[in-house]
Amino acid sequence: MTQGWTRSRNIGVWCAAVAIAAVPAVCAVSPAYPEDTMPTGNRVFFRGGYAQLSSDRSNELFTDGHSAVGSNNNIGGYYVGGGEDVMMTRDLWGMMKGTALVGEIGVEFKRWNSNVVANSDTTGVTGVSTGGTTQVQLTMLTVSVSPKVKFMQGTDFQPWVIPVGLDFNVISPPSNQTQYLDIGVQFGAGGEYRVWKELWLGVDSRYHVGSNQTNTVNNFWTIGPYVAIGF
């Protein structure tokens, strides 16, 4: 009986030792979180709002027939667009805790307020023009790639800035020299708030500077809300 008690005691001591030794190993393993509690930081967003040129496009051949009948001199309009934020680092590679860097890829369409005016086919604008007046739509397409610095990671409100981004612009109608492609930079700032799980609402404002390779001034700014969805 004494031997049985001794054997039981040894087994109990051995089990206790194994349990104690297993505690650090268990603690070292990261807990398993549900998928929706471990966001990647990647987001797809949809934007829209007010846009404004820094200089109008009046008195051009294709925009209003050099103002032969009226002038397409409005600078305001609207924009719609979307894009994707790709998380690169959540702490600037260990240099700043809570400050993330994401890469933004975006596309944006703008329509400037347009008038019924003469155009390149209006009678009298050129020697072979035979048409009348029409509403000449002034539009612009921008595709951009930008670094975006996001602050206050881990919180429901996250402000951000774009120190400088790269723009590729397409203008329509083309310039007097029939050029329509331009390159430029953008600067921006905004903030977003988590309303539910990975659904975010935000607002931003951006200023774009073109290199004016179309022989037109292609600078503009935008302001408006956006919706983002994390994935």
**Residue 44 sits in the same domain as residue 21:** no
The two three-digit tokens of residue 106, written as one number: 């975006």
**Residue 51 sits in the same domain as residue 109:** yes
Range of the domain at 60: 38-230
Supply the pLDDT for residue 194. 97
**Residue 19 sits in the same domain as residue 73:** no
Cβ–Cβ under 8 Å, residues 230 and 39: yes
Question: In the predicted model, what is the mean pLDDT of residues 3-32?
Answer: 45
Specify the range with the lowest mean pLDDT, choosing from 75-89, 103-117, 128-142, 164-178.
128-142
Is residue 13 scored above 50 in pLDDT?
no
> Residue 14: which pLDDT band, with cuts at 50, 70 and 90?
low
3-state SS of the chain?
A: CHHHHHHHHHHHHHHHHHHHHHHHHHHHCCCCCCHHHCCCCCEEEEEEEEEEECCCCCCCHHHHCCCCCCCCCCCEEEEEEEEEEEEEECCCCCCCCCCEEEEEEEEEEEEECCCEECCCCEECCECCCCECCEECCEEEEEEEEEEEEECCCCCCEEEEEEEEEEEEEEEECCCCCCCCEEEEEEEEEEEEEEEECCEEEEEEEEEEEECCCCCCCCCEEEEEEEEEEEC
Supply the pLDDT for residue 130. 79
**Residue 24 sits in the same domain as residue 131:** no
**Residue 24 sits in the same domain as residue 58:** no
**Residue 81 sits in the same domain as residue 160:** yes
**Residue 54 sits in the same domain as residue 9:** no
> Residue 124: which pLDDT band, with cuts at 50, 70 and 90?
confident
Q: What are the pLDDT digits (tens) for 64-98?
A: 999 999 999 999 999 999 999 999 999 999 999 99
Task: Look up the CATH number of the domain holding residue 156.
Answer: 2.40.160.20
231 contact partners, CB below 8 Å, separation of at least 6:
40, 42, 43, 44, 198
Q: How many structural domains compose the chain?
A: 2
Is residue 54 scored above 80 in pLDDT?
yes
**Residue 106 sits in the same domain as residue 220:** yes
**Residue 109 sits in the same domain as residue 24:** no
**Residue 15 sits in the same domain as residue 45:** no
**Residue 17 sits in the same domain as residue 107:** no
Q: Tell me phi and psi for residue 16, to 5 degrees.
A: -65, -40
d(CA 213, CA 208) in angstroms, rounded, equals 14
Report the mean per-residue pLDDT for the chain.
Answer: 87
The two three-digit tokens of residue 155, written as one number: 């919180």
Is residue 33 scored above 50 in pLDDT?
no
**Residue 15 sits in the same domain as residue 121:** no
Is residue 43 scored above 70 in pLDDT?
yes
